[in-house]
């Protein structure tokens, strides 16, 4: 069991490097307000799926205001979410989307 755990951690570490590269390509890089490191292979694959096409199946998260100066609602930023279904349950990923520019930022696991 320990050997399997070590192998899993090694695979996640290697794959996470690729995930970090994808996050940098898709995000503006204004920071993050949550967890971006996957805790499992399922989370890693879910994040890669979302990053490949963030708006596919995404829904807007109802919020009062987008007041963080990095993502102001007045500048077109809205909070979005994608729920990726897996055999082990759902993985919920939130991100910010700018409806005026089409840009994305702050992808995170919820």
Chain segment 31-68, per-residue pLDDT in tens: 999 999 999 999 999 999 999 999 999 999 998 889 99
Number of structural domains the chain divides into? 1
Beta-strand ranges (E) seen in 21-103 are 59-60, 77-86, 89-98
Other Cβ atoms closer than 10 A to 43:
21
The rounded distance, in Å, linking the Cα atoms of 27 and 45 is 17
> Residue 64: its pLDDT value, please?
85
Range of the domain at 94: 2-109
This model's pTM is above 0.85: no
């Amino acid at each position: 069991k320990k050997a399997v755990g070590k192998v899993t951690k090694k695979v996640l570490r290697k794959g996470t490097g690729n995930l970090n590269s994808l996050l940098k390509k898709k995000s503006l890089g204004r920071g993050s307000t949550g967890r971006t490191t996957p805790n499992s292979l399922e989370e890693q694959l879910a994040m890669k799926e979302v990053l490949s096409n963030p708006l596919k199946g995404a829904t807007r998260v109802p919020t009062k205001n987008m007041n963080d100066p990095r993502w102001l609602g007045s500048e077109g930023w809205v909070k979005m979410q994608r729920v990726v279904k897996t055999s082990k349950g759902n993985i919920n990923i939130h991100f910010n989307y700018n409806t005026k520019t089409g840009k994305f930022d702050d992808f995170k696991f919820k």
